[in-house]
Amino acid sequence: MRALSIAAALTFVLCAAPSLAAEPVVAVWYRGTPAGTPRLDDLAAIKAAGFGAITWPTGNAGALADASRLAETVGLVVVIQPDGRAVPALDGRINVDVTRRRAAEIPAVVWRAVATGVRTISFDPGPTQGTGLDRPDGRRRDWVAPAVAIARQLSANAELIAEIRHVVTPEFLSSRPPSLHVELLEGSRAWVIIATNTGRARARTEVALPRGVPYAIWVSLLDASTIAMLDRPTGARWQFELDAGAAAVYVIDKVMPSFAELGASYCLNVRL
């Protein structure tokens, strides 16, 4: 019992041997069909939907070996943690209860978590048998599309997302709606700015970035669109509007490549 309780308190991601899962990870809570019994068809459906992992509850440790073996068969990794319905998520993780959130809120909720250090996201369809991806009539549930979009975006830019760290919360130069959050992060080669609006109304504001952060050209990780911020002697300024539930994620190289380098090797990974 002591060994199990210690294991349940650890923060870890388990991948079927021989390799370990690399963060970021986007998973679907899967409890089996019936509960505690993993099924290959369920796991294949989760993989086919566009996810790369499942989250398996520590309370079903007895079936962990079977879950890991079947997950490896279809190309999924397995995240282990106490059931999200019973306890808070572990450090560096978030459980997104899709039975209590509107699909439109998912981008803002998840990208805000990423901006504040979360690298393992588990979407929880509730204590249901099966995958939880579809309604009883077979139609896909609304939360799946935005969740899959995030999974693809994080997977395509995994190296960047895994290394970025908080730099500063930019100064708001105009009114700041309580629902709006902006973070500036950096990696070894790039700056990343993430803005999220968890409210129910469109928000508009202006923020100031530290001196030395470039004003242009920023590229969206979400749709490859570009923006140029205002160039000011004290640092770049970003004026923007953000829809309710939306996220904006932009990246810029710390050292801008030449045109020759752009044509030969520079690539931004965007998954729509």
Q: For residue 13, name the pLDDT band (cuts at 50, 70, 90).
A: very low
111 vs 262, which has greater pLDDT? 111
- Which of 71, 249, 88 is CA-nearest to residue 156? 249
Structure tokens at 99: 């039975």
Q: For residue 245, name the pLDDT band (cuts at 50, 70, 90).
A: very high
Q: How many residues does the chain have?
A: 272
Kindly report the backbone phi and psi dihedral angles of residue 206, in degrees, each rounded to the nearest multiple of 5, phi listed first: -140, 135
pLDDT of residue 14: 40
92 in the Ramachandran plot: left (φ > 0), alpha (ψ -120 to 50) or beta? left
| All structural domains of the chain with their residue ranges | 7-156, 164-264
Q: For residue 15, name the pLDDT band (cuts at 50, 70, 90).
A: very low
Check: CB of residue 242 under 8 Å from CB of residue 202: yes
Report the SS3 class of residue 102: coil
Q: What is the mean pLDDT of residues 187-205?
A: 96
102 vs 175, which has greater pLDDT? 102
What does the alpha-carbon distance between residue 158 and residue 21 come to, in Å, rounded to a whole number? 12
Instruction: DSSP letter for 4, please.
Output: H
Q: What is the mean pLDDT of residues 47-67?
A: 94
What does the alpha-carbon distance between residue 74 and residue 40 come to, in Å, rounded to a whole number? 8
18, pLDDT greater than 90: no
Dihedral sign for Cα atoms in the order 121, 112, 147, 48? negative
pLDDT of residue 255: 76
Instruction: Select the CATH number that applies to the domain covering 164-264 from these four: 3.20.20.10, 3.30.479.30, 3.80.10.10, 2.60.40.1180.
Output: 2.60.40.1180
Check: CB of residue 78 under 8 Å from CB of residue 54: yes
What does the alpha-carbon distance between residue 246 and residue 222 come to, in Å, rounded to a whole number? 11
- Which of 210, 194, 189 is CA-nearest to residue 254? 189
Structure tokens at 156: 């395509």
Check: CB of residue 166 under 8 Å from CB of residue 185: yes
What does the alpha-carbon distance between residue 35 and residue 127 come to, in Å, rounded to a whole number? 9
What does the alpha-carbon distance between residue 245 and residue 7 come to, in Å, rounded to a whole number? 36
pLDDT averaged over every residue in the chain: 87
Q: For residue 269, name the pLDDT band (cuts at 50, 70, 90).
A: low
Structure tokens at 95: 């459980």
Q: For residue 4, name the pLDDT band (cuts at 50, 70, 90).
A: very low
